[in-house]
Amino acid sequence: MKRVLSGIAVLVLLIIAAVYVYSNQTKSTIKGEISDFAIEDTASITRIVMKNEAGETVTLQRDENKWMLNDKYKARPDGINTLLYTMKKLSVKSPVSQQAMNSTLKNIISSHVLVEAYDGNTLVKSYYVGGPNQTHTGTNMLMKGSERPYAVHIEGFHGFLTPRYFVDENEWRHRGIFEYNKEKIESVSIEYTNNQSQNFSISTNPMVKGYVINYGENLSETSTAMDTLGVSAYLKNFEMIHYESFEETKSQAVIDSVLASQPIFKIDLSTAEGEQRTVKGFLKPLIGGEDPEGNPTDVDIDRLYLLIDNEEFVIGQYAIFDKLTKGINFFKRG
Q: What is the pLDDT of residue 224?
A: 67
Residues forming a β-bridge with 128: 114, 142
* pLDDT tens-digit series, residues 110-167: 999 999 999 999 999 999 999 999 888 899 999 998 889 999 999 999 889 999 999 9
Closest listed residue to residue 199, CA positions, set 188, 184, 208: 188
CA distance 79 to 73: 14
DSSP sequence for 190-202: EEESS-GGG-EEE
Maximal CA-CA distance, the chain: 117
**How does DSSP classify residue 76?**
P
Rounded Cα gap, residues 191 and 268, in angstroms:
9
Q: Write the single-letter amino acid at 226.
A: M
Q: State if pTM tops 0.95.
A: no
Q: What is the pLDDT of residue 187?
A: 95
Say if residues 40 and 85 touch (Cβ distance below 8 Å).
Answer: no
Give the count of beta carbons closer than 10 Å to the beta carbon of residue 188: 23
pLDDT at residue number 32? 47
- The DSSP bridge pattern shows strands 139-143 and 296-308 to be unpaired
Structural contact between residues 246 and 222, judged by C-beta atoms closer than 8 angstroms: no
For residue 202, give the amino acid letter.
I
Tens digit of pLDDT at every position of the chain (334 positions): 444 444 444 333 333 333 333 344 444 444 444 338 999 999 999 999 999 999 999 999 999 889 999 999 999 999 999 999 999 999 999 999 999 999 999 999 999 999 999 999 999 999 999 999 988 889 999 999 888 999 999 999 988 999 999 999 999 999 999 999 999 999 999 999 999 999 999 998 776 677 889 988 888 888 766 777 888 899 999 999 999 999 989 999 999 999 999 999 999 999 999 999 999 999 999 988 777 777 888 899 999 999 999 999 999 999 999 999 988 888 876 5
Burial of 117 (0-12, 13-18, 19+ CB in 10 A): buried
pLDDT at position 31, please?
A: 45
